[in-house]
Chain A
Amino acid sequence: MTATVDAGTRRVTTAKAISEGIAQEMRSNPDVFVMGEDVGPYGGIFGSTGGLFEEFGSARIVDTPISETGFIGAGIGAAVEGMRPVVELMFVDFFGVCFDQIYNHMAKIHYESGGNVKVPMVIMTAVGGGYSDAAQHSQCLWATFAHMPGMKVVAPSNPYDAKGLMISAIRDDNPVIFMFHKGVMGLPWMAKNPRSIGPVPEEEYTVPIGKAAIAHEGSDVTVVSVSMSVQHCLDVAEELEGTTSVEVIDLRSIVPLDREAILTSVAKTGKLVIVDEDYKSFGLSGEIIATIADKDPSLLKAPVERVCYPDIPVPYARVLEYEALPTRDKIKAAIAKVTA
């Protein structure tokens, strides 16, 4: 452990923050290893394992063939024998070829065994669109994983949370789906919000799984979001300072969902906007609204506005994709509507 460093003195990308968190856990725990496609010398297609191969070599940073069922299943086998694998599934959209290992095995073994077998593994995967990668490489899908019991699901919006959540995920005795949005990674080859590069302490620290952050305090309206969309929400909240007081809640985890944080904020503001890049129907936004309806519908002083991905596959052409994506303009319009 190095001396405490002021978080403000060093700014790194989310990708660097993730790989640094993994490296620090690997140094202190020989049971941690990384496996996946292009995680070795390439450093992960989105940089999540940058520099790890140089430090740890091919024995612990394992490039795999394109056999997602094979290597995710192997991660499960290693985990049930007490290792702590971090397995990268390059794009979340690829889960279709290997979902049996994920939802029928990884997520269920602890329950099926009556608590006798633990599966301490992390699946990290890239999510999200905005760069014309179309229908099979742009989805978020966190609600799909969250719908099935037995997996924790996290999706950081910034470098600080990414490192702390990765360390928490590796140390967790449960399977954790770690979803990084390509747009928050701070990649040199993709347009990015400046928030994708930010202050990150050099030492190890954890961000608790299941605890939302109030990313921007406010009193007029609650805006609940997660992952990349949080960056848009913060831009809007700052822009509206002086006219509308916006409280932005960054969920950080979808499972467990910090329902208390949502209820507390909505109790204060009485107005709710949900911004979610995952599909609108049967998903996170509906679950958030149900949380309020179950507890006390009278908390809401106006109908909820949802800025979510419409129920369409992700289109290719830029003009079509941005018609569907959550944007700052749509968030502003939603805030204006609920606070009118």
Chain B
Amino acid sequence: MVDNEQRIEFFRQMARIRAYEAALQANYHADKTPQWDIGAGLIPGEMHLAAGQEPVAVGLCANLVKDDAITGPHRPHHLALAKGVDINKMTAEIYGRDTGLSHGKGGHMHLFDPEQHFSCSGIIGQGMPVAVGQAMAFARRGTDNVAVAVAGEGAANQGAFHEALNLAAMWKLPVIFIIEDNDWAISVARDTATPIKDGSLRGTAYGMPSQRVEGNDVEMIYEACKTAVDRARAGGGPTLLEIHTVRLWGHFEGDAQAYRGEELNEAAERDPLPAYEQRLISAGILTEESAAAIKAEAEAEVNAAIEFAKSSPEPKPSDAYLHVFA
């Protein structure tokens, strides 16, 4: 059961992620004027933000330790922050600075933190087999660590998803497959991409325990992940969790989202953060003041990380030739 201390920590972590994504969004657009240009500004390139999906990352990572692994998708910030990736180095990477996780070689879709066993990939579904291999390594070495593959609902239509599930189930590996169902694969709605309403059926088809989690509720997600992680640590093999969440913003920044129509307004009403804040206040676990203090603290941490990134040096141009080979 979740206790009140955990609830406050869940709120703190979710507020921290939201503050991060909001600050990146503001900074991303701030210097792309007057003519919006995706390659311009201090944060160039594509930017996929995870506002709305905080409960997944926080509910999941509350069950993980440093030596557990995550492979994330192209929309990775919530997972990286919840897993414990250093916020300064991560932000510096997104700003393309030499102090970044990868000295500016990766960017926001390619965050690698070997200390936290965190990685992500810009290619849909392709982190899933990699997590299977990490789980193989853990099992071979006799540790009780687990590997988690996180991907969107669009990725469940990819071959890599099915191959990874089959391998993990066949070899009974400590893998947790998390599908973040945010209803949209860029502009393609879930119900136009697959006739399967409940994606957990796909895990059942591969003979593994599977569950669809509705509600985007951090406590329910935590409990579902706890069951899965405990089972994997105990040698009980993989689990598939399809978690229904919400993409509050565009697929990437600059996405006008005309395709969403009225659904966009409904999505805003499903924002998990104010809902959880109100719940904790109503239950007397937080007050208006303590909630505001948590949010202010998160904003201060995020602003400090952005200042760190902005004040860090860029890599030397000639560093482009380093690290092709070990």
Please state if B137 and A77 are interface contacts (CB–CB under 8 Å).
yes
Please state if B132 and A73 are interface contacts (CB–CB under 8 Å).
yes
A172 to chain B, nearest CB (A): 8
Give which listed residue, B101, B126, B147, contacts A113 with CB less than 8 A: B101
Known: A112-B106, A150-B324. A77 touches B112 (CB 8 A): no
Known: A65-B170, A117-B119. A150 touches B131 (CB 8 A): no
A74 to chain B, nearest CB (A): 4
Known: A74-B132, A100-B126. A115 touches B163 (CB 8 A): no
Tally inter-chain residue pairs, CB-CB below 8 A.
146
A64 to chain B, nearest CB (A): 7
Q: In the complex, which of the residues B159, B163, B323 has the most CB atoms of chain A within 10 Å of its own CB atom?
A: B163
Please state if B69 and A81 are interface contacts (CB–CB under 8 Å).
yes
Please state if B324 and A117 are interface contacts (CB–CB under 8 Å).
no
Please state if B138 and A81 are interface contacts (CB–CB under 8 Å).
yes
Contact with A along B76-111 (1 / 0, CB 8 A): 000000000000000000000000111111100010
A171 to chain B, nearest CB (A): 12
Tell me if B133 counts as interface (CB < 8 A to partner A): yes
Known: A78-B137, A113-B106, A114-B102. A104 touches B147 (CB 8 A): no
Please state if B131 and A77 are interface contacts (CB–CB under 8 Å).
yes
Please state if A114 and B100 are interface contacts (CB–CB under 8 Å).
yes
Q: List 25 A-B contacts (CB under 8 A).
A: A69-B126, A69-B160, A73-B126, A76-B133, A77-B69, A77-B129, A77-B130, A77-B131, A77-B137, A77-B147, A78-B137, A79-B133, A80-B133, A81-B133, A109-B112, A111-B323, A113-B102, A113-B105, A113-B323, A114-B102, A114-B323, A116-B114, A118-B326, A149-B324, A152-B325
Nearest residue in B to A113 (C-beta to C-beta)?
B112
Please state if A117 and B112 are interface contacts (CB–CB under 8 Å).
yes
Residues of B close to A115: CB separation below 8 A = 103, 322-323, 326
Q: Which residues of B contact A (CB under 8 A)?
A: 69, 71, 100-106, 110, 112, 114, 117, 119, 121, 123, 126, 128-138, 140, 147, 159-160, 163-164, 166-167, 170, 322-326
CA distance A6 to B113 in the complex (A): 48
Tell me if A218 counts as interface (CB < 8 A to partner B): no
Q: In the complex, which of the residues B69, B101, B136 has the most CB atoms of chain A within 10 Å of its own CB atom?
A: B136
* Nearest 9 Cβ contacts at the A-B interface: A77-B133, A73-B129, A70-B163, A114-B102, A74-B133, A81-B137, A113-B112, A67-B163, A114-B103
A94 to chain B, nearest CB (A): 14
A71 to chain B, nearest CB (A): 7
CA distance A149 to B325 in the complex (A): 9
CA distance A173 to B170 in the complex (A): 29
A90 to chain B, nearest CB (A): 16
Known: A73-B133, A149-B324. A114 touches B164 (CB 8 A): no
Please state if B104 and A114 are interface contacts (CB–CB under 8 Å).
yes
Please state if A112 and B167 are interface contacts (CB–CB under 8 Å).
no
Residues of A close to B159: CB separation below 8 A = 69, 97
Residues of B close to A109: CB separation below 8 A = 112, 119
Residues facing B in A57-97 (CB within 8 A) are: 59, 64-65, 67, 69-83, 85, 97
Please state if A80 and B326 are interface contacts (CB–CB under 8 Å).
no
B283 to chain A, nearest CB (A): 41
B156 to chain A, nearest CB (A): 15
Nearest residue in A to B159 (C-beta to C-beta)?
A69
Please state if A74 and B136 are interface contacts (CB–CB under 8 Å).
yes
CA distance A111 to B319 in the complex (A): 11
A21 to chain B, nearest CB (A): 21
A61 to chain B, nearest CB (A): 13
CA distance A109 to B129 in the complex (A): 15
CA distance A110 to B324 in the complex (A): 7
Residues of A close to B135: CB separation below 8 A = 77
Tell me if A139 counts as interface (CB < 8 A to partner B): no
Please state if A75 and B133 are interface contacts (CB–CB under 8 Å).
yes
Nearest residue in A to B320 (C-beta to C-beta)?
A111
Please state if B325 and A110 are interface contacts (CB–CB under 8 Å).
yes
Tell me if A105 counts as interface (CB < 8 A to partner B): yes
Tell me if A174 counts as interface (CB < 8 A to partner B): yes
Please state if A112 and B102 are interface contacts (CB–CB under 8 Å).
yes
Residues of A close to B326: CB separation below 8 A = 110, 115, 118, 120, 173-174
Known: A65-B166, A149-B324, A173-B326. A70 touches B132 (CB 8 A): yes
Give which listed residue, B101, B132, B322, contacts A77 with CB less than 8 A: B132
10 further contact pairs, Cβ within 8 A, besides A78-B136, A113-B105, A174-B326: A65-B170, A74-B167, A77-B134, A81-B117, A81-B137, A104-B121, A111-B324, A113-B119, A116-B114, A150-B325
Please state if A80 and B323 are interface contacts (CB–CB under 8 Å).
no
Tell me if A33 counts as interface (CB < 8 A to partner B): yes
Nearest residue in A to B163 (C-beta to C-beta)?
A70
Contact with B along A167-183 (1 / 0, CB 8 A): 00000011000000000
Known: A73-B126, A73-B129, A149-B324. A105 touches B121 (CB 8 A): yes
Residues of B close to A100: CB separation below 8 A = 123, 126, 160
Residues of B close to A120: CB separation below 8 A = 326
Please state if B167 and A77 are interface contacts (CB–CB under 8 Å).
no
CA distance A149 to B105 in the complex (A): 14
Q: In the complex, which of the residues A81, A109, A116, A120 has the most CB atoms of chain B within 10 Å of its own CB atom?
A: A81
Tell me if A101 counts as interface (CB < 8 A to partner B): yes
Please state if B101 and A83 are interface contacts (CB–CB under 8 Å).
no
CA distance A99 to B120 in the complex (A): 18
Residues of B close to A104: CB separation below 8 A = 121, 123, 126
Nearest residue in B to A77 (C-beta to C-beta)?
B133
Residues of A close to B134: CB separation below 8 A = 77-78, 80-81
B240 to chain A, nearest CB (A): 15
CA distance A104 to B127 in the complex (A): 11
CA distance A220 to B76 in the complex (A): 60
Please state if B323 and A110 are interface contacts (CB–CB under 8 Å).
yes
Please state if B100 and A71 are interface contacts (CB–CB under 8 Å).
no
Please state if A70 and B129 are interface contacts (CB–CB under 8 Å).
yes
